Structure 1
Amino acid sequence: MTAIVYESMKQLIRYGLLVAFVVGTFSSRAQTTYYVASNGNDTNDGRSIDRPFQSLGRVNSLVLGADDAVLFRRGDTFRGTLQIKQSGSLGKPIRFDAYGNGPKPVLAGSVPVQNWIQVRGNVWQAQCAACGNRVTGVYLNGLAQPLGRYPNADDSNRGSLTVQTHVGMNQLTSQENLTTDWTGAEVVVRPTYWIIDRATVTKQTGNTLLLNNSSSYNLTDGWGFFMQKHPATLDRPGEWYYNPANSSLQLYSNQGNPNQQLITATVQDQVIDVTNVKFIRIQNLRITQARSYNLKALNTSNLVVNDNDFTDSGEDGVVIQGEGSHIRVENCRIINSNNNGFYIGSYQDVIFRKNSIRRTGLLPGQGKSGDGQFIAFQSFAKRGTLIENNTIDSVGYIGISVQSKSIIRQNLIANFCMTKTDGGGIYLWNGPQLPSDSTRIESNIISKGIGTPGGLSSTVIGGAHGIFLDDCVTGVDLVENTITDCQGLGIYLHSVNHVNLIRNTCFNNAVGQLILYNYDIPCKPRNNTFNQNIFLAKTAAQPVVAYISGEDDLRSFGSMNHNYYARPFNDLSTIRAVYNQSVVSDLNVSQWQKQFSEDLTSWPSPITYKDYVVKHLSNSFRIGSSPITDPDGWDTWSVYNNGRVNWNTSSSSLTVKFANSSGHSDSYALVYKGIQSVTKSRNYLVQFDVAAPADKNLVVFIRQRKAPYKDLSKRYEFLAGSTRKHYEFAFTALADEADALLTFQVSEDEQPVWLYNIHFQEATIERVNPDDYIRLAFNPTQADSIVVLHEPYRDVKNHYYARQITLKPFASAVLLRDTLPPVDIRLSLRSAKPSLHLGEVTSVSLTLHNVSTNRTSLANQVKWSCQLPANLIAVNQVGVPIIDSVLTGMAQQLLTDTTFVFRVKPIKSGQYILAAQVVASTYADPSSTPDSGTEDGEDDQASVVLQVDNTLVIDTPVAGLVTAITLPNALIEPSRIYPNPTPDEFTYVAEDDIVNVRLMDILGRERFTLDTIRQGQTVRFGQALPDAYYLLIIKYKTGEQRAVKLIKQSR
């Protein structure tokens, strides 16, 4: 009995323990929400709004589990570091969020600094025991205050002292006298365009400073530096200095007692610390004033950061280091970061979407030293990175920098390279030549690369490029990006390969719209594709495109087609080609196509403008008061004394030529004549006609007659060609000169140049504003946008816009004010035979119709193209060129309808669709876009269907023509006809009973017929026939039909 009772008691105990375990287990896994408020108490349980915790320290002591939440009360501030040390689970993340009403709760890494005392003048001092060995930010009522510096940023010499001489990276001598002992201070130096370093002064001897400098870059003479972290720097409101030796903070304040303000200083290295955890969600918080990072994550996965404000970081806004996956940052604002905005290391599957990064790395003394600093967004993620719909504005160096396998899409990037330069709005680098591919940069709008000068005596702004692919980048698609208003290049490609540029627009970028460049980097540009891009320079002096190589390999750079190289105020020499490092050719589109066989379907500007308006023209001619009748007054000088100028009576022109070849590529001749005196800032007008046997560039300018032979104007470039052209240009004299020369410069080659009707007059001109003629419209939103126009415009494709243009999201259009009336062009296409037999030739008629009301007054030049489908070939084309199965034609003056005829032949049965389109025209078309494809439904394209059956057709070419005779069910084979060819007559012995024979010429005309021929009968015919090809068609009694080709040919 006792044993039974004892066993029953054991079972009850086990059951009770089991129940307790189960209940405890389910209780610990239940979702728990904790509340934190500034008026709470850390002794509370924190599980209700009425009993919240008070501090981050209490939150850090919690053991959190899956689906738990920690909520901070809106409107409150919590100081310290939030340490996230536990993980959630799939679908049940640990959440850190807000509750209540009002502004987002603030998590701050700073402490208030109080008890200020006045130590000298406007300088106040307070102790900050919590500040430790450094302070990276001081804030007055929440606004960042400047770290004291000498000289001040707005002082002369760009706010800098000058490195006169240096030794490596650890010693410099100042060009300016240093009257203060700067030992222990920090020097901020700029050794090169893209680096700002900070180093401690360990010793000073006069103007020489010894530095503790860990940089990889030596100092540079003539470049600037300044001092900071020294009490002698405080002389402007808000400037501060922290002395770690005694934990004292000094502040320059001329606005009264700082004890009446809230002044805070950074003390926590990070405000949120996320380490070695998974499934975490952070949202609806404001994280601010960290000494190093507002948020730091290490080896974290499945992290969601949504709708947070990261502000006023002493160094970096958000840093995610180590390795992990599935990181999502959305709808956040990262503002006022002293160094980098966002950094992520070697992660996978990263989404950075709909965020705003503003004012990053703008203070040169408060960012970090070395490479990789002052960047808004920097990613070393390995794959699956999506960066889209973000706004990046005002950044010290690079906007977005990634490694590979990333998508960068629909971002708005503006005002970059504001502190350092030689960077880009988007930048990729692959110097170590690591595997890098599958990156797509699409539909971004990038503007206002600012750039900074280097040496203090230099006015040259370092490159601030829109998109910069540097050193061996490979496998990148650049698609439909818009880059504008950069003080560098629109797109800079340095030694890249397998890069595709498709439908990008580069406009008004100061150094040029595109450069593909390689001199000595081992990664040679290869397998690149440039298609359908717009490269448009806004001003007459702005470069367009350059292709540059240290070798003679420009043709190997890649494939280029359907691009627009445009400079409406000066559309000559839009492409610079440099090869073998020193061979430089400035070419227009046509010359580039002929010389390098690239861009064969690319175009210059559809419209051009003068950059001036003549208000008054002097009646006094310096040159040209009467027609030129001899070379009197014109003289020549040439590098190798082989240039000549003489009067050509037959053409009534000055002829410039070279008497013999110098054998030097740098040879040129100057042809000049005196124009009396010119006066600085006065304007002059030059007019002349020019021609040459083939395209040839010439340069016109004014210069001094005597040493030092300085130019007195800008140099203007013009193109001479086989058609005589008239040119006019206005220039402004750069200096006073009593004896000036009008000068033509011509490079040496075998062809002459003929100059006619040269005039030189003083003029009153007014320079036009390019903004009145050229504008860029873009749409930085997620919806279609209508841009209202107050006057007619056209784009580079010659599409006409009378009142408005509709742009898709993140699309753009460069618009050219239309000073010419629109001309409506229609294209039609017709085949003489829509149904063909195999091998039969048909004539196709392509007609350009001028359907405008002013068709007789406008000499519109129109070009068309027609793509032949596979197995349809052109036959004996004359006057209609064909390249790669594309037929092209040009109507030089489409005053009335113009028809082109070409002939095609199918070599395989089936259905063929032959399509043609207008690809360019002088005048804008109000109803169509040239070169927009053959399936857009517009009236400048047309197509025709050819149906080809299996019936055999015989081609009989003669005298350069092609014809065909259709023979249904006929077999073409030899027969007993001899001799063939014959100079006299043919003899035919019938091999079977024949119904009839017919002899046809190449035009299908019947030349001979004979009925009822018996087997074995001999027939002689053709003695009177002229020499030609013929076809004898034989119809047998059996119903079979045969054809024999005959040739009549005299000896």
Structure 2
Amino acid sequence: MSTASSRGRDLLSLTPVRIWQALLLGLALAIASATEVSATTYYVSSATGSDSDDGLTPGSAFASIGHINALELEPGDQVLFLCGESWRAQPLVITASGTAGAPIVFSSHPADCAAKPVLSGAQPISGWALFGANIYRSDLDTGLNAGLFPLGLNQLFRGANRLPMGRWPNISGHPDGGYAEVDSQPSPTQIVDSELPPGDWSGAVMHIKGIRWYMLNREVASSSGTTLNLEQAVQCWGGDCAQWGYFLNSHLATLDQEGEWYFDAASKQVYLYTLAGAPADGEIEGSALTTTEGVLWGGVVLGKNLAEHISWVTIENLRIERWFDAGITTPINLEADENHDLVIRNNDIVDVDTTGIRLTTWVWDAAAHGSGPNGWRGGRNHLVEGNTIDGANHFGIDSYGVESQLLSNVIRNVALIENLGRSGMGCGYAGTNCTENGAGIRLKHDPGAPDHTSRDNLLRFNRLSKVGMNGIDVFGRRMTLENNVIDRACFSKGDCGAIRTFGRNSLATTPAHDITIKGNVIKEVPGNTDGTHPNFETLFGFGIYIDNYSRDVTVQGNTVTGATWEGVLFQHSTGVLTGNTLYDNVASNWGSEVALLLSGTEVTQTGNTLFPLAANRRTLRISNPTTLTFSEGNRFFSPYDDGSIVDDTAGGVGMTLAEWQSWSGHDGTSAAHWYTRQSGEPPLSKIFINDTAEEVIVDLAGMFYLYLNQQPVGPTLTLPAFSSQILIEDPGPIFIDGFESGDTSRWSSSRP
């Protein structure tokens, strides 16, 4: 048994070094204990709280987010918003930091509730009165509206629905998706359209397709007859906007369909077209423009503009909706360093006008603080997990981040044309190239701070659907994109991909390199070309688009189906293409399942299945023999066209596999289709896809199929996680039914 005297002798026997070690350990434990004891949990209730209470229990909760913003939070503190409650037009501005073992947490009470606390950017609108035929008007400076909309509004809602800003021409029933056509462009600031409705269009905004992949916004200074005079010059592809498409919004004259609205910023009056009569007070809500501080603003702001960055902070279990700008955002400027070690988890971000989660900021004094060069940053060591982003108009997630993880996020309905407001997809009203806007996830690179932007990120288990531009857009290095599911990327623009990589300058110096794209499932890439010049109307969607000096890109084990132009394209780029299933990815003549094009491209391909479903759809196209350095063990299945392999240097004539083998020396171990179909005949093939993280067993419902190697399948098909299998219908042998009557005139193609 240890006694006090024996413990004293043990202490006396310690060396001075051991004594110091013991004292330091005790001090560390004391500090840790003090930190644990001092951590405070604050509760916030909009329904029953009061800022004069102590906030320490749900029954004595604080009331306002403004009060939370003023607290001097310490590491380990928690701020819990009561579930089922809402806060309006009160941005949560986080300026305090935690530590590695004691983050500051902003969450819900109770945790993981179904009715998450709502941080809404919208205010109710009252005082609607009849203005004209089916048009009602409310003054935002009078009555119950006074003070709620200090700078106006930019979105309108009725109940759970976002209402469309009035536009001309309307989308519904329009042959070109709601785009009028420019007849001529007399000068850089003028367009002429003989179909333009008469009237004064000053103050409206023109949104014009300048090429398949960008849309520009221009304010209308004045109009005269069929001519629009613009505040800023506009340039379309080829230097002339004639025959390119555009639409107008943000003007009273556009209101002619249920729910359409317009806001007059000069008079601060909002107009609504409805057949339902005057809305009741509070029935309609608007996204309140409350401040221009920091330029970039949103429901949750990560850091203090022009000043402190934050670290070791968790934001979780919140619903952030209807903000005039972003959902969760950094301010446009930070001073000494970027944010780091943030967790953004399990939040719902809905119907924001710009970006769901924006992790982009300019660190203006980094060099002086030893934090690398001044420049754009997105933060480091972030975890962005389990969030749902629905209805953002510029980007789903936009980041310059490094060493971060984006996991299991759901991103949908990004940059849909019918949802666009005055700001369109972004780029302001003078931008000249709005290529990247509309992406689901953009990982941007700053050449001035190459080691501090867009590198070493992991994107896994994310699900994206109905995204206006590229699904995932990658500009940096050492990225891993694995087991993501992307459905209907390029929904509003064309010449884009479900996954795109984009480098710069040359293969030797490009920032986009060492990228792994593995086990992703890509479905339907329309490559929308509404509003484009007649020469560019062919749908132009890519499954995986390796572009512009992307170096050492591994494309492995992906499933791509339903892209309209090419399944996989390498262009001025290098890499490996292995084990991919590319099925029915060409919607018009001369597209390809795989295309390897232009100077510098060098790719090896093995074990891929290339399977178009019509004549004049290529399995493989190369621009010259040097683009394909090795190719074996592939399947070139083109039952509608034997000559589906093309080398441009051979005159662009389609080759059979045997002809290709003789011409190129490649693919001696590869296989071709073993059956044929005529034009107009339905395909015998069917693709089965498992886009989940669990193995799936498919009941084939009595149908008989063959694998591509002609081995039989059935009665079930096992699909591993994030995989696919193409099967061929097997009609089986034809035999006599053998009716008892002896009538053998009827035959069956069923198996007995």
Q: TM-score, normalised by structure 2?
A: 0.80
Write the mapping of 1:1001-1012 to structure 2, written as runs, cut at 5 A. Answer: none
Partner SS, residue 535 of structure 1 = strand
Change in 2 beyond 3 A, CA 1:38/1:561: same
**Match for residue 83 of structure 2?**
74
- Residues 693, 721 of structure 2: 8 Å contact kept: yes
- Residues 555, 597 of structure 1: 8 Å contact kept: no
Paired residues, number:
630
Deviation at 1:367?
1.8
- Residues 504, 512 of structure 2: 8 Å contact kept: no
**Match for residue 366 of structure 2?**
none
Write the mapping of 1:786-801 to structure 2, written as runs, cut at 5 A. Answer: 786-789=697-700, 790-801=702-713
Deviation at 1:164?
0.9
Flag structure 1 segments of 5+ consecutive residues without an equivalent. 1-21, 613-766, 823-1051
* Matching residue's letter, 1:439: I
Deviation at 1:492?
1.6
Flag structure 2 segments of 5+ consecutive residues without an equivalent. 1-29, 142-147, 291-296, 304-308, 332-337, 362-376, 428-433, 445-452, 735-752
* Matching residue's letter, 1:368: G
- Residues 637, 672 of structure 2: 8 Å contact kept: yes
Partner SS, residue 176 of structure 1 = coil
Indicate whether 1:326 and 2:367 are aligned.
no
Change in 2 beyond 3 A, CA 1:312/1:177: closer
Deviations 1:473-494 (A, max 9, x none): 1111000000001222111221
Change in 2 beyond 3 A, CA 1:556/1:202: closer
**Match for residue 769 of structure 1?**
682
Partner SS, residue 722 of structure 2 = coil
Indicate whether 1:598 and 2:666 are aligned.
yes
Change in 2 beyond 3 A, CA 1:157/1:777: closer
**Match for residue 49 of structure 1?**
58
**CA–CA distance in structure 2, aligned partners of residues 295 and 234 of structure 1:** 32
Write the mapping of 1:605-620 to structure 2, written as runs, cut at 5 A. Answer: 605=673, 607-611=674-678
Deviations 1:328-369 (A, max 9, x none): 011110011122111111x22111111100111102553214
Greater share of residues in strand: 1
* Matching residue's letter, 2:643: S
Deviations 1:349-406 (A, max 9, x none): 1111111001111025532141221111111243221111111011111111112211
Change in 2 beyond 3 A, CA 1:142/1:167: same
* Matching residue's letter, 2:242: D
Deviation at 1:796?
2.3
- Residues 596, 628 of structure 2: 8 Å contact kept: no
**Match for residue 547 of structure 1?**
622
**CA–CA distance in structure 1, aligned partners of residues 152 and 233 of structure 2:** 18
**CA–CA distance in structure 1, aligned partners of residues 234 and 648 of structure 2:** 35
**CA–CA distance in structure 2, aligned partners of residues 435 and 75 of structure 1:** 46
Q: 2:639 aligns with which of 568, 577, 599?
A: 568
Partner SS, residue 64 of structure 1 = coil
**CA–CA distance in structure 2, aligned partners of residues 808 and 517 of structure 1:** 29
**CA–CA distance in structure 2, aligned partners of residues 361 and 396 of structure 1:** 5
Indicate whether 1:174 and 2:182 are aligned.
no
Deviation at 1:136?
2.9
Partner SS, residue 658 of structure 2 = helix
**Match for residue 406 of structure 1?**
479
**Match for residue 593 of structure 2?**
514
**Match for residue 278 of structure 2?**
257
- Residues 151, 226 of structure 1: 8 Å contact kept: yes
Indicate whether 1:465 and 2:548 are aligned.
no
Deviation at 1:794?
2.0
Deviations 1:61-82 (A, max 9, x none): 1010100000001110012100
Q: 1:230 aligns with which of 234, 240, 251?
A: 251
**Match for residue 489 of structure 1?**
566
Deviation at 1:244?
1.1
Deviation at 1:134?
5.7
**Match for residue 725 of structure 2?**
813
Change in 2 beyond 3 A, CA 1:388/1:26: closer
**CA–CA distance in structure 2, aligned partners of residues 407 and 565 of structure 1:** 28
**CA–CA distance in structure 1, aligned partners of residues 714 and 175 of structure 2:** 50
Indicate whether 1:113 and 2:125 are aligned.
yes
Deviations 1:166-218 (A, max 9, x none): 15642211132441211111111111101111100112222121212366755
Deviation at 1:555?
4.1
**Match for residue 379 of structure 1?**
443
Partner SS, residue 595 of structure 1 = helix
- Residues 126, 281 of structure 2: 8 Å contact kept: no
* Matching residue's letter, 2:655: L
* Matching residue's letter, 2:398: Y
Q: 2:520 aligns with which of 444, 455, 478?
A: 444
**CA–CA distance in structure 2, aligned partners of residues 544 and 134 of structure 1:** 54
Indicate whether 1:272 and 2:306 are aligned.
no
**CA–CA distance in structure 2, aligned partners of residues 782 and 27 of structure 1:** 40
- Residues 150, 226 of structure 1: 8 Å contact kept: yes
- Residues 616, 644 of structure 2: 8 Å contact kept: no
Deviation at 1:113?
1.6
**Match for residue 198 of structure 1?**
217
Partner SS, residue 677 of structure 2 = coil
Q: 2:403 aligns with which of 340, 349, 355?
A: 349
Change in 2 beyond 3 A, CA 1:444/1:167: farther
Deviations 1:218-272 (A, max 9, x none): 5521121111111111111111111111211111121122125532211253110
Indicate whether 1:531 and 2:606 are aligned.
yes
**CA–CA distance in structure 1, aligned partners of residues 204 and 196 of structure 2:** 16
Matched residues, percent identical?
25
Q: 1:138 aligns with which of 139, 142, 156?
A: 156
Partner SS, residue 43 of structure 1 = coil
- Residues 496, 545 of structure 2: 8 Å contact kept: yes
Structure exhibiting the larger radius of gyration computed from Cα positions: 1
Deviation at 1:592?
0.8
Q: 2:46 aligns with which of 38, 44, 47?
A: 38
Partner SS, residue 182 of structure 2 = strand
Change in 2 beyond 3 A, CA 1:310/1:156: closer
Deviation at 1:596?
1.6
Deviations 1:950-983 (A, max 9, x none): xxxxxxxxxxxxxxxxxxxxxxxxxxxxxxxxxx
Deviation at 1:416?
1.5
Change in 2 beyond 3 A, CA 1:391/1:27: closer
- Residues 125, 138 of structure 2: 8 Å contact kept: yes
* Matching residue's letter, 1:332: N
**Match for residue 848 of structure 1?**
none
Indicate whether 1:367 and 2:431 are aligned.
no
Q: 1:427 aligns with which of 500, 504, 510?
A: 500
Q: 2:71 aligns with which of 62, 66, 86?
A: 62
Change in 2 beyond 3 A, CA 1:568/1:556: closer
- Residues 119, 125 of structure 1: 8 Å contact kept: yes
**CA–CA distance in structure 1, aligned partners of residues 235 and 503 of structure 2:** 19
Deviation at 1:543?
2.9
Q: 1:474 aligns with which of 546, 551, 554?
A: 551
**CA–CA distance in structure 1, aligned partners of residues 703 and 647 of structure 2:** 37
* Matching residue's letter, 1:488: W
Deviation at 1:465?
0.8
Q: TM-score, normalised by structure 1?
A: 0.58
Write the mapping of 1:92-171 to structure 2, written as runs, cut at 5 A. Answer: 92-100=102-110, 103-129=115-141, 130-133=148-151, 135-158=153-176, 159-167=178-186, 169-171=188-190
**CA–CA distance in structure 2, aligned partners of residues 376 and 774 of structure 1:** 31
Deviation at 1:441?
0.4
**Match for residue 921 of structure 1?**
none
- Residues 578, 607 of structure 2: 8 Å contact kept: yes
**Match for residue 364 of structure 2?**
none
**Match for residue 951 of structure 1?**
none
